[in-house]
Structure 1
Amino acid sequence: MDSKMNVNVFLVLFCCLIKVVLLQGTGSGNDGNLRLCIVEGRSLYKRVPIHCPVLDKEKAGVECVLGTDRLDCLRRISKGTVDFGVFSPEDLVAAQWANIDVLVTHELRLRKRPFARNIVAVVNRRILPDHSSTLHAVLKNSTLCHPGETMDDLRPLSETLSGYLESLVLERSCDPTRSNTENKLKALADFYGKACKAGPWVPDKFRDAELKRMYPSLCAACARSCTAGDRYWGNAGSLTCLTEGEGDVTWGEADDVAAYFKVDEADGSLTGSENFAYLCRDGTWRDMTQKPCVWLRRPWNVIVAKRKASEAVSKLVQSLTNSSVTVDRHWRGSLAALLEALQAPLEPLQPPRAPMDYLAMADGFREAYSQAGCDPPRHINFCTTSLLAKNKCDWLSEAGAVYGIAPPLQCVMRNSVQECLKAVQMGECDATAAGSDWLVAGIRDYSLTPLLHEVTPITEKTNTIVAYVKSDAQITKMADLRGKRAAFPRYDGAAWHSVKNYITTHEKISCEEFMDSYFGEICAPGLDGKKCYEEGEQEALKSLVEGKSDVAFISMTTYKAFQGRNDSSASAEANKIVPLCPEGNKKYCFVSWSNLGHIFAANNLTSIRQHEIVNVFTKLDQLFGKHPPFHNAMFSMYGSFNHEMEVIFHSNTKSLATSAVLKTHPYDKIPYNFELQLSNMTDFTCGFGAKMTPSLIVLLVTLVVILIYS
């Protein structure tokens, strides 16, 4: 009896244990819930606040985690803090390169076909030989109708896929006297008789125009402008170029080609022109009523899970296909929406596959992302100042390489901004990023040039220098500051030189008088080796608040942060502080403004190397910056990285631009720009360049003028 009861008790306990284990699940969330990493798009529609609460309320066994970008989600999966998410095939390439152990469980198919894109070549029969030939022989000296390139994954072609298609025909050019982009363009121009390669070739419009003047044959077949507005740009445009007789060959999406030529698969009839054929990679061709030979396939977006959770994710996602999720207002409908699966039928992979095994099913795709580079390889060595910054740089390099950005970034770490500036000066690195406080020192002490600027059109978010005083101090104009106590964030920074330039100009005094007697007292950490407080804008503001100074020269951003603190005493003190507007700038009220940050390179670099650095970073900006409507959520250059802000780049940055941006609207309408002030400074012997020889002064003045106005 006792033994029977013990057995029953054991069975009850065993069943309870099994039940607990089943409820626990294999996920990384609470009670074993599966954790889904989601990246919100930049549209007004936000999925997380709408659908994630439904999962929690109905205890769906799934938790939401908001990721900064898709590579952030991959890193979280790698660390085991999330279990699955939706990714593009390009993300899978990055995952493989970063050795992230994941499995592909499902495809999200928008159409009933095995691949998202099937790229084919269409050729005018007039260039086909009478007998079989090589691809090279068929196309040599023909006219190419190029569909163009875009920075997104969709249409017409990404630069990587376009470059791969070109590489199947062209011989690689690696002339060290030309930039990577120019080598590709020259190879294209040398092979084809002429072409219409409409659209931007590089992001910088001035360099783009220069390249198009250098290789006019690549625009010779265009209808008018060789821009993205040209009649022959894009998928339909390149086919129009072909059928109107301007070109001999083009690449296009198989469905677009079939629709354009009205190929009826049911009876094989062809409406349009019978003078064209599908050209195959081996140099053969097929009639357009036949099944096309595909040059390149792009897979669908996929659901990816960490290996330990892949079986549970597969079962969870498979449950969505067994219900009408498009009208389900419960958790299954919400999960489908979060997975972007409402309009994309889910195709399970049995069994789940490793990323490269999955991509290998798509002809040409994996090869497109493993093209051999030039030998010796080129890199842009980029200097960072912390382990976190180097980590972000490494991921930016991975993301850029996926999209064919070349030369690739190679990330280096030094212990400080000064060490990075020195490394660039000595040729140990090619470029580094630093704020406007380093503009003067970078140009003067390290012989560097700011090739690119982090810009924003929102004036208040630029690096502004404002004179803040106490409201009861009876200081109403800048001239009243004579004899007063002044607080600067640091000596030799943007605030120091902006104020010095303003006062010497408007008060008609020498630089020596400004230094020696204009202010009754100066606190600028680093001046004469003194340190009256720690370096920084907050310290300068604190000096004003505590009555130790009469004016503090700091940014609007720092003051507004102080004003917005949840502290009644701080709020009261902030209300006693007012800006002092300088003459000629009552509207904005700042002494100067400058761009958020700068990418510095040595000023003795060749123009080719400068072009490469500008081209790489502006392309990275287009891909991973803030460029709607095709914002690529794979990686975020600006914003949070591993929960930290302002890593390498500033979060408020809108884009990267050359100095030419200062002559464009709205920047040309905003007075007192610090970068332009540098080009107008005539006294380089006080503060700005006390250590400089006269010959170096002349060289610097010439350099800055060329930089700003080139």
Structure 2
Amino acid sequence: MNFDRRIHFTNLDACTLLNYLQSTYKTADAAHYNCSRRPLPPTRVDGCSYLCRWEHAALLFSFTVRLCIVEGRGLYKRAPTHCPILDKEKAGVECVLGTDRLDCLRRISKGTVDFGVFFPEDLVAAQWANIDVLVTNELRFRSRPFARNIVAVVNRRILPDDSSTLHAVLKNSTLCHPGESMDDLRPLSETLSAYLETLVLERSCDPTRSHTENRLKALADFYGKACKAGPWVPDRTRDAELKRQYPSLCAACAKTCMAGDIYWGNSGSLTCLTDGAGDVTWGEADDVRTYFKIKEGEPLTGYENFAYLCRDGTWRDLTQEPCIWLRKPWNVIVAKRKASEAVSKLTQSLTNSSVTVDRHWRGALSALLESNQALPEPLHPPRAPMDYLAQAQGFREAHITFCTISLLAKNKCEWLSEAGAVYGIAPPLQCIMRSSTEECLKAVSNGECDATAADSDWLVAGIRDYALTPILNEITPIVEKTGSIVAYVNKDAEITKMADLRGKRAAFPRYDGVAWHSVKDYIMKHEKMSCKDYVEEYFKEICAPGMDGKKCYEAGEEEALKSLLDDNSDVAFISMKTFNTYKENNKASETIKKIVPLCPEGNQKFCFVSWSNLGHIFVANNITNIRRHEIINVFTKLDQLFGKHPPFHNAMFSMYGPFNHEMEVIFHSNTKSLATINVLSTHPYNKIPYNFELAMSNVTDFTCGFGAKTTPSFFVFLVTLVVFLINS
């Protein structure tokens, strides 16, 4: 911070500025400002430290936001041209050169820069890395909400008389592929093009072929022929080999199957369609309307022979509103959260004149923000990256973002994604990390990611508190390896049946987990008790760490068992696996030899109160059915490739085995496969009574007694409130 000059900030709100300075530099205070016209008494305003009215204020120190610049290719360099103007005119903006856009994201994360210009794909990367940023502005070059609106156009000759599926309409048709490119001026990147293909194709997963070749084979197998002009791979020799290997993908081209072919590119693929060489293509909606002259009111002759094809297999006339397959957002200005308001105010100072003709600092800033063709469109309020991308139909769906709770789990997820990519599994997994299972559940609920894995202790909380659904279960047919909950008692206590537990002291591994809900559900049903009677009368004492903010022992099954062994409880509700492991490790203990299972009525064979699958993959309730099935398909395909499916087990990667010498990373080691809840109606699962998932799937009200989640902090709040009301 420099205190040698006085600077006026007419484009920044004072409260925003001081809050930013206080949080970032720890120096902003009432003593550091003056009033340029007349002194005003210090006043508290809106939670800020002492302010005077901003129209009179001037700070005695310089306030600078740091802009990360990535130079493009070519001779023209923006930074040496425009950054000196910002410095000379004391604009309060400092240039910092970044190697690339991800380097700029890392710098924002470290706090060495405040904002920059990014592509929508970068926002997904920011979410993976858990970088706390907000989108403050869109860089729109046209007056429309999205940069790209991708549609499918078909020749009506392939449309059936009645409604049909997308697969049935397009199978064996001729594709006019628009080509793909890393050039941002082209509608389809390789990632987006691959995603559109996955909506139609039957994937090819031949392990003897590369990912690219599997993708080409899938195209060749699905379409009768195609014109996929332009380079398929960067190496020219390999590109020629692949085109000889899959000649049907070039059969519809006019001449060369190269970038110079008349059917290559955005307009070329539409020419391919109107020339009758092909049946279907993807394109940018505005390009399609322009090509067919729909906007001009005098459509191209023969336009009525073509239609928009929708993702559900229906179609619309070209004069109607098109059905969009995928929307691509604009490039954006992204700022770290603490600087977002300051950056928003800064960009609001840019005007049309500053963008086009201003040779001073506003014009320089416009050029550096790459907005010299249009003003940065402000977002009110600034949005989190995933909230911003959520509005773009299909864009986020090009990946499945999976939340993990440790660096090791994130690494395994990334390796699983790479292994899946080799076999053409799409959309690909993208892996992010949060600090705990609870934070991952929140991330899925908030739309920050698509899915996460958790065990059955989180089943009720996921359904009740985060509006999630378990779409896949980690299953095993071996009863002893499931998540079984057994009532263990001391055989000297003369407790011979579940009804004898009335008035006894109960130990649970934790509050709100699978043991807690299983026992409550069982007793209320078999004792024909109301929720109120169960909570208030059934047990003499309950220890369930987390309930009412109390902690009689640390949460965990072994701790609940030790409470029984120490005679602090009469019954412990824990898993069969934990008990057997403890007993094996403490063979010499006379106390453990006296502990026996108490078998409930109706389950003398297995002797557990409930059993649950080892874990679950959770998604949000409000996702579309298409997205739900897509996530199920990706994980079940990964399971088939890398799970335990003899004789087809793939030794390339193990989903359920040890990872980096650690067990139970993301998935449980005893998992046999991933399956939907429908598997519970098949043998042998339908022969095992008291399944927890089925019981909970029929529950609509989880608020019984302590059933509503009560965290320690919330309990303290309630006590404080009661004391306040009494005293008042």
Larger RCO (CA within 8 A; separation ≥ 6): 1
TM-score, normalization by structure 2: 0.48
